[in-house]
């Protein structure tokens, strides 16, 4: 069952924007799902995409699936924090109530690519934590994409081709974790999240707390 990871839950704190990126197939969806299940203080920012759903994907849960016209309308109405072209489709982070919720201490998880990461970081450096997940090897990356069996061979080839380009953005992240054993990788990601929550600047409740201690 979900357990609170913070022993200082009673103190008010600002929420954070926790970004997980990786080359396709390295495991960010798996790690994201484990995190959401284990931690009830973080909520997924559900992206909008023009890509068709994969088997098992639910509209509004994994993505909001829209057509090109709807995506265009959202761009025109300035509904996105950021959006980007990935694998011939468009993906975007809807603004929703993120800013207000951050103030109330809500954490958000973003499964977005390096382009989206860059845009979010430019807009909100103080709240963003950037984590990049790497596969243990290129051969293992291909094996995972093939084992996932959700894409045609040409799509897998295209994803493999892009993987190297995506990996080249590793140095634009705060943390890099290699996903060899999924449980170990998940543990590391969780430690990062816990540590980031303890950052002094995020713990808005510390000022009155310390004032009280010193009075
Ligand atoms: N910039 C941006 N990238 C996104 C967004 N949502 C998903 N992505 C990225 O788009 C890429 C393709 O995602 P997807 O089609 O689900 O396949 P995946 O590679 O198996 O995760 C991944 O790198 C995601 O991180 C978004 O809202 N904005
Ligand atoms: N550490 C791991 N060892 C073996 N297989 C893994 C590991 N992590 C993820 N996988 C598998 O690899 C495939 C791709 O993972 P996924 O989370 O969908 O990647 P991404 O979201 O980065 O594209 C999935 O079938 C997943 O179950």
Q: How far is the CA of 78 from the centre of ligand 2 (A)?
A: 33
What per-residue confidence (pLDDT) applies to 122?
Answer: 96
Residue 100 located in a structural domain: no
Residue 66 located in a structural domain: no
Residue 28 located in a structural domain: yes
Q: How far is the CA of 16 from the centre of ligand 1 (A)?
A: 20
Residue 135 located in a structural domain: yes
Q: Which residues of the chain have pLDDT under 70?
A: 1-9, 151
Which protein residues touch ligand 1 with a CB less than 6 Å away?
Answer: 21, 24, 29, 47, 51, 82, 84, 86-87, 91-93, 111-113, 115-116
Q: Which ligand is nearest to the CA of 136?
A: 2
> Residue 37 maps to which CATH number?
3.40.50.300
Question: In this predicted model, what pLDDT tens digit does every residue of 121-143 receive, in sequence order?
Answer: 999 999 999 999 999 999 999 99
The range of the structural domain enclosing residue 32 comes to 17-45+105-209
Residue 168 located in a structural domain: yes
pTM for the full predicted model: 0.92
For ligand 2, pick from 19, 22, 26, 27 the residue to mutate: most ligand atoms within 8 Å of CB: 27
For ligand 1, pick from 32, 44, 47, 52 the residue to mutate: most ligand atoms within 8 Å of CB: 47
**Domains held by the chain: number:** 1
Has 25 been labeled as part of a binding site? Answer: yes
What per-residue confidence (pLDDT) applies to 158?
Answer: 84
The mean pLDDT value of the chain amounts to: 92
What per-residue confidence (pLDDT) applies to 33?
Answer: 95
Contacts of 104 (CB under 8 A, 6+ apart): 15
ipTM: 0.95
Residue 130 located in a structural domain: yes
What per-residue confidence (pLDDT) applies to 3?
Answer: 43
Q: How far is the CA of 104 from the centre of ligand 2 (A)?
A: 33
């Amino acid at each position: 069952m979900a357990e609170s990871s913070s022993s200082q839950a009673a103190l008010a704190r600002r929420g954070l924007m926790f970004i997980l990126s990786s080359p396709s197939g390295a495991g960010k969806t798996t790690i994201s799902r484990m995190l959401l299940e284990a931690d009830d203080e973080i909520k997924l920012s559900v992206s909008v995409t023009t890509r068709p759903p994969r088997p098992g994907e639910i509209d509004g849960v994994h993505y909001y699936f829209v057509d090109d016209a709807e995506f265009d309308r959202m761009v025109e109405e300035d509904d996105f924090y950021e959006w980007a072209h990935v694998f011939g489709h468009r993906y975007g982070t809807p603004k929703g109530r993120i800013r207000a919720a951050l103030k109330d201490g809500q954490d958000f998880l973003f499964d977005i690519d390096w382009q989206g990461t860059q845009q979010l970081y430019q807009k909100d450096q103080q709240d963003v934590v950037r984590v990049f997940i790497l596969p243990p090897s290129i051969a293992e990356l291909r094996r995972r994409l093939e084992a996932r069996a959700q894409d045609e061979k040409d799509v897998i080839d295209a994803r493999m081709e892009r993987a190297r380009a995506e990996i080249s953005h590793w140095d634009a992240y705060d943390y890099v974790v290699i996903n060899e054993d999924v449980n170990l990788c998940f543990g590391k990601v969780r430690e990062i999240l816990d540590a980031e929550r303890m950052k002094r600047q995020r713990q808005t409740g510390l000022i009155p707390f310390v004032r009280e201690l010193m009075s």
